[in-house]
Chains A and B, each alone.
Chain A
Amino acid sequence: DGGITQSPKYLFRKEGQNVTLSCEQNLNHDAMYWYRQDPGQGLRLIYYSQIVNDFQKGDIAEGYSVSREKKESFPLTVTSAQKNPTAFYLCASTGEIRGYTFGSGTRLTVV
């Protein structure tokens, strides 16, 4: 079955450490997105990519980086510059205007 796989499901990060969240899709979708959710907040866009080797900053890109070397993969790195990284992270993809397909999310906690 086609879908989006995010890993890991839970991730713990020490202060000052970079961590990378994985997002892989086998839907042949061109566009991929990373969102962050905090308690009581809506989903906020971190980065998006419309095509391989191209990506754009979303509303809250500071402290994050991405790459899009393959159509199937859009990993998100949470750098030490991100001051408040504890949150739930969702990856999504879309091929056309049929709505997003979402992954199951990664919950990141700073310890």
Chain B
Amino acid sequence: ILNVEQSPQSLHVQEGDSTNFTCSFPSSNFYALHWYRWETAKSPEALFVMTLNGDEKKKGRISATLNTKEGYSYLYIKGSQPEDSATYLCASAYYGGSQGNLIFGKGTKLSVKP
């Protein structure tokens, strides 16, 4: 059974702090890594989809990197704001299965205090 691990499980930071969290995934037959942001009472929102080793993507103050050889991705948030408070999910997809099927981690819950 493929397992995607996210750490930490939860994180509390002050407004203005920069933070990062980790997603670890099996690297064999890897196809793609997805990051989602899930605010309470809303739908998860796609942040990034990465496929290539060394990929780095950025969206405003949020960026992500990918290492497919060792099976990890980092998500960075620069200068956290209260509106960044959410659960951040990562998910990986693999060759051999349906290419749309994702294996989700349990998420990192970020709380940003003003």
Q: Which residues of A contact B (CB under 8 A)?
A: 4, 31, 33, 35, 40-45, 48, 50, 56, 58, 90, 94, 97-105
Please state if A100 and B46 are interface contacts (CB–CB under 8 Å).
yes
State which of A50, A56, A58, A102 has its C-beta within 8 Å of the C-beta of B44: A102
Please state if B46 and A101 are interface contacts (CB–CB under 8 Å).
yes
Q: How many angstroms between the C-alpha atoms of A102 and B39 in the bound complex? A: 12
Q: Which residues of B lie under 8 Å from residue A48 when comparing CB positions?
A: 98, 100-101
Given A48-B98, A104-B43, A105-B43, answer yes or no on A99-B36 (Cβ-Cβ < 8 Å).
yes
Q: How many angstroms between the C-alpha atoms of A104 and B48 in the bound complex? A: 20
Please state if A40 and B43 are interface contacts (CB–CB under 8 Å).
no
Q: How many Cβ-Cβ contacts under 8 Å join chain A to chain B?
A: 59
Q: How many angstroms between the C-alpha atoms of A100 and B102 in the bound complex? A: 9
Q: How many angstroms between the C-alpha atoms of A42 and B45 in the bound complex? A: 16
Please state if B49 and A97 are interface contacts (CB–CB under 8 Å).
yes
Q: Does any Cβ of A come within 8 Å of B21's Cβ?
A: no
Q: A90-B44, A97-B99 given; name 13 further pairs at CB < 8 Å.
A: A42-B4, A43-B91, A48-B98, A56-B98, A90-B43, A97-B51, A98-B46, A99-B34, A99-B46, A100-B46, A104-B42, A104-B43, A105-B43
Please state if B46 and A103 are interface contacts (CB–CB under 8 Å).
no
Please state if A31 and B100 are interface contacts (CB–CB under 8 Å).
yes
Q: How far is the CB of B93 from chain A (nearest CB, A)?
A: 8
Chain B residue nearest to A93 (CB atoms) is B100
Q: How far is the CB of A73 from chain B (nearest CB, A)?
A: 18
Please state if B34 and A42 are interface contacts (CB–CB under 8 Å).
no
Q: Which residues of B lie under 8 Å from residue A41 when comparing CB positions?
A: 106
Q: How far is the CB of B37 from chain A (nearest CB, A)?
A: 11
Q: Which residues of B lie under 8 Å from residue A100 when comparing CB positions?
A: 34, 36, 44, 46, 102
Q: How many angstroms between the C-alpha atoms of A56 and B100 in the bound complex? A: 12
Q: Which residues of A lie under 8 Å from residue B98 when comparing CB positions?
A: 31, 48, 50, 56
